[in-house]
Each structure stands twice: as structure tokens, then as C-alpha cells.
Amino acid sequence: MVNTMDKKYICGLKQSDFQTTVDHKKTDLFILSNTHGNEVAITNYGGAVVALMIPDRNGVKANIIQGHDNIQDVMSSPEPFLSTLIGRYGNRICKGKFKLHGKEYQLGINNGPNHLHGGPTGFHARVWDAQMMNEQTLVLHYVSAYGEEGYSGELKTTVMYTFTNDNELVIEYLATTNKKTIINLTHHGFFSLSGIGTPTPSIENMMCEINANYYIPIDENSIPTGEILKVDNTPFDFRTPKTIGQDIGADHEQIKYGAGYDHCFVLNKEEEDELSFAARITDPASGRVMEVYTTEPGVQIYTDNWATGYKGQFGATFPKRSAICIEAQHFPDSPNHTYFPSVVLEPNMQYKQKTVYKFSVAD
């Protein structure tokens, strides 16, 4: 489908700039809009959210998620996971190895010695079948073949994006398999609540609250040590709001291993799988607030520690620590830690998770 007349959107993106063919499947741009005239722009290549137009305290709308303005740049981004869907397994698996039924599986290696975010051709690099249900809902489908990136089982996945009139971006995940496998889907949004720019401002002065009494420490290769530690008296205590930058340079082994924050926080939950509050980010400069709710047991907090200042949408640049990622998920390397919540999906089961990003303005 090629548009000869591009509709004008407040995000400034053109649908035709996202239309091409990849592996015999067509890519496109889909715009969700609510009754306030706010927009979410999504491409079916990797399910990437390429724009999220949200007003500040003065009602001025800006794009608060990092992305690109055409499909070629999305596909060749220096950050391959830039605001994309992640699968089959979000986060790292040690040396790309795990066992099911006594059989060892070897996954693709793409992060030092480890498998990261589903591998080099994971869900972020696939063209999804897309269907606009209405102005506020987009449904994406993808069938991951048996053996893709080394995983067992054929995995049928559906992801539904909904942009509500309460300025909530709701992401719902469903999946089934025909053979026992592992799964851990997430979304890797790179959020810049001040709005993207040249350069995009630092996140270090933003206030952060995380509903977690515990976090998961990592080794020098960013793999969990197997411990689950209290956040008390560490840089990882965000139970009372503090700036992201307050302890990001602390003389602490874990901060050094992550080059900042790149850790999974164990969310406080009264019931397993309940949709509950995970985190809140407040930008004092713009007044924008983002709250995250999820059914997942954890959130990976990543403070954009490795960005290089590369160019994104409309000439904006994305330097180090210009975004925060709050990736709702199960724990890293769970298949190799039996006491972590299970990520195994059986043929008679349905994988189902939900994450909500709610945007507002501080009082």
C-alpha cells in the first residue's frame, strides 16, 4: 500500500516514509489518536513506537519517545531496540543457553557472550501483520517459527496497543506455542519526558519512584548472580522519589557493572499477576509525569548508558542518559535460575501480560 497523499499528523511523520517491503511483507505507519488530539505513531516493523505526542504543563505537545522518521533509519538504527517490541525473551540469557526437558538449547549471541532481547533477528527486527481496530487500537500478529533464533516451538504472538482517552498507552501481550518453550515479552520504550531535541535533554534531574523492596544484582557480564537483594542503603532504593542522577555515579559495584542503572527491580505485589503500580517518572522541566503499571513481576530500569549522540527523528540527537527505559518483564536469565518466576510456556497454556504507561501533568 502506497500513499499518494499523506495525511498530516501533529507528530509530523509521513506514512509513505514508512512503507516498504521486507522479506515479502509490507511495512507501514499507524497513528493512534485520542479525544484530546494526542498521538501515538507505531510501525509494524518491530512494533516500534516512533512518536508519542503528549502535552506539557502549558499544553504544548512534544514527542517524548525516541525514534526515527523513516523505515530505513528504523531498520538500521544504531540502537536496534529503540522503542521496539522485544521477544522471544526480553533481557539476557547467559551464554544463550538453557535447558528444557533435559535438552540444552543454544540461542543466538548478540551481547558479549550472551543472548539479549531475543537475538539479532528477534521480534524487534520482524515485520508484524497489523490491523487497525479503531482510531485508538492497533493489533499486531507474528508467528515465530520453530527454531527461530534457536528457540523451541512455534510461537504465535499477538500484541495490542491501545491509546486511551486518559492518555494511557496500554500494551497487551498474548501468545501460544505448539511445543514447550520459554517466553518473556516486553517493550523497550526510550522515554524522554522533556521532549526529544538537539540534543535531547538529560534524564538525570527527573524524579523517579520504583515500587520495589528488592533488586537483582548482576555480574560483570550483566547476568544475575542469583541473589535477590534488599534495596535498603543502596543506590537502588527508589521507594521514596529521588532524582535519577542522585546516585547514578555512586562508588558501588553494581552501578559500575551497569555503567549506571541497567538492573531488574522486583516489584512489590500483593497478588501474582495483578496489574499494579511499578514506577513513576516526573520531569520538573515540563511537568510531564509517566506512571507504569504492569502484571509482570519485575521492571528493568535502563538509563541509556551507552548512547552515543546518534541522530534520530527530524535531526534530534540522543546522547548518553537522554532516555529512561522501564521494561516490564520477568527476570533476566530466568531459565537458568529455578527459583525465579517461571518463563516456561506449555502447549496447553496461554501467555498473557499487560503493561500500562499513563501520562499526565504534575499538580
Cα separation, 292 vs 357, in Å, equals 5
User: Exposure pattern of 266-284 as b/e (b: 16+ CB <10 Å)?
Assistant: bbebeeeeeeebbbbbbbe
Cα separation, 181 vs 121, in Å, equals 18
Residue 193: CB partners within 8 Å, gap ≥ 6? 64, 203, 206, 281, 282, 283, 286, 288, 289, 290
**Which of 120, 159, 94 minimizes the C-alpha distance to 352?**
159
The three three-digit cell numbers of residue 72, written as one number: 530505513
Contacts of 246-255 with C-beta under 8 Å, sequence gap 24+, read 248/204, 248/303, 248/321, 254/217, 254/218
Give the three-class secondary structure for 39: strand
Written as one letter, the residue type at 277 is F
- Active site members: 188, 327
